[in-house]
Amino acid sequence: MYASRMSNLPPYLFARIDAMKAEQRKKGVDLIDLGVGDPDLATPPHVVEALCTAAKDSKNHHYPDYAGMPAYRSAVAGWYRKRFGVTLDADKEVVALMGSKDGIAHIGEAFVNPGDYVLAPSPGYPVYRTGTLFAEGKVHDMPLLRENNFIPVLSDIPKNVAKAAKILYINYPNNPTGAIAPEGFYKEVVDFARDNEIVVVSDNAYSEISFDGYRAPSFLQTKGAMEVGIEMHSLSKTYNMTGWRIGMAVGNAEVIAGLGRVKTNVDSGVFDAVQHAAITALSGPQDCVKDACRIYQERRDVLIKGLQGLGFDVPLPRATFYVWVPVKDCMAFSGRLLTEAGIVATPGVGFGASGEGYVRFAITRPVARIQEAIERMRKMQL
């Protein structure tokens, strides 16, 4: 009954984990869910208030502008200028997304012909792969290894693959490894993309979640970046708005136009009231972001210290709300965590073949629950 492309899709990992979680819950297990990267913190009240006000105005009840309201696109441009010093033309270089997943899932349709390559990090956000498969492209994995600080080695990509590639995904601060982009890496990406005529898509969903004084850059700050690519960002992680479905793609006008044209044909834009709330989030006070980072940093420290005490050699993440923990066999280990300790962690292999040997903990639960998880792990025969 299903089209053949359906059989190429991997089972969406989080759906499978959800089923395993439901089974444990049915048994009455008090689960500590450090699996899915969905903030437990609430959306800031002033943003919720802005939604309520906008939702009551019937002007906002119609089909939205496909690309996003001009006021939303200006707010995005204003935020990029203030946060990164990047200047954007709000008309041509900004498009609203229903979260960055929307943009990642659809951009392949604009740039990838059947059989073309897409370069994607492994481990990586699963939609880089599935979006490519929907466009009938081929994924070339760029392994993110600890010995390389979880940065892809672009010179390892075979010349013929690089020449036949249409999109290069980069994602720093990185999900799932927690790695950050080192000085000079983005310059290397710009040169590589220019030499091989590849569109760079920088997935910057975690730019605002960082610790120890680190502030993540935008790819677009790099000289030449605007000529070769775009960046996607989202309000999901920054303002705890995962359920609201709003984000943006910004950068090269031609690339933005291509993505926008696909979207015009498959969706009808983001609810105007949500865009009004997003304007409030981007233009208003940013203390809520700092507060969230403080909370995550405390959790990170508790989890890292606990895991180190149990003998794990864990890299210290300077950004994102993930901790990437080396283990022997990730499926076996995450299975044991679930059944013996009631802890949900994501097996690294779910993010690609090079994720084997790791599990990902999301620090999206309060400190007390993280401490409890460490206590439960201490009682396991690890």
Ligand X SMILES: *Cc1c(COP(=O)(O)O)cnc(C)c1O
Residues lying near ligand X in the complex (CB under 6 A) are found at: 37, 99-101, 125, 171, 175, 203, 205, 234, 236-237, 242, 247
Determine the Cα–Cα distance for residues 177 and 164; give it in Å rounded to an integer: 28
Determine the Cα–Cα distance for residues 245 and 224; give it in Å rounded to an integer: 30
CB nearer to ligand X: pick between 281 and 377: 281
Contact indicator for 158, 196 with CB cutoff of 8 Å: no
CB nearer to ligand X: pick between 100 and 122: 100
CB nearer to ligand X: pick between 47 and 377: 47
Q: How far is the CB of 125 from ligand X (least distance, A)?
A: 4
Determine the Cα–Cα distance for residues 149 and 147; give it in Å rounded to an integer: 6
CB nearer to ligand X: pick between 100 and 132: 100
Determine the Cα–Cα distance for residues 308 and 8; give it in Å rounded to an integer: 39
CB nearer to ligand X: pick between 37 and 306: 37
What element of type H or E holds 151? none
Q: Alpha helix (H) ranges present in 168-309?
A: 185-196, 225-228, 235-238, 253-266, 272-283, 287-309
Q: Alpha helix (H) ranges present in the chain?
A: 4-8, 13-26, 45-55, 70-84, 100-111, 127-134, 159-163, 185-196, 225-228, 235-238, 253-266, 272-283, 287-309, 330-341, 367-379
CB nearer to ligand X: pick between 230 and 374: 230
User: Which pairing describes strands 343-344 and 322-326: parallel, antiparallel, or unpaired?
Assistant: unpaired
Q: How far is the CB of 101 from ligand X (least distance, A)?
A: 3
Q: How far is the CB of 375 from ligand X (least distance, A)?
A: 28
CB nearer to ligand X: pick between 36 and 71: 36
Q: How far is the CB of 366 from ligand X (least distance, A)?
A: 20
Q: How far is the CB of 166 from ligand X (least distance, A)?
A: 19
SS3 118: strand
110 alpha-carbon distance from chain centroid: 21
CB nearer to ligand X: pick between 101 and 276: 101
Q: How far is the CB of 61 from ligand X (least distance, A)?
A: 24
What element of type H or E holds 250? strand 247-251
Among residues 374, 370, 354, the alpha carbon closest in space to that of 362 is found at 370
- Tokens 């709300």 correspond to what residue? 321
Among residues 123, 100, 114, the alpha carbon closest in space to that of 10 is found at 123
CB nearer to ligand X: pick between 101 and 166: 101
Q: How far is the CB of 171 from ligand X (least distance, A)?
A: 5
Q: How far is the CB of 91 from ligand X (least distance, A)?
A: 23
Q: How far is the CB of 213 from ligand X (least distance, A)?
A: 23
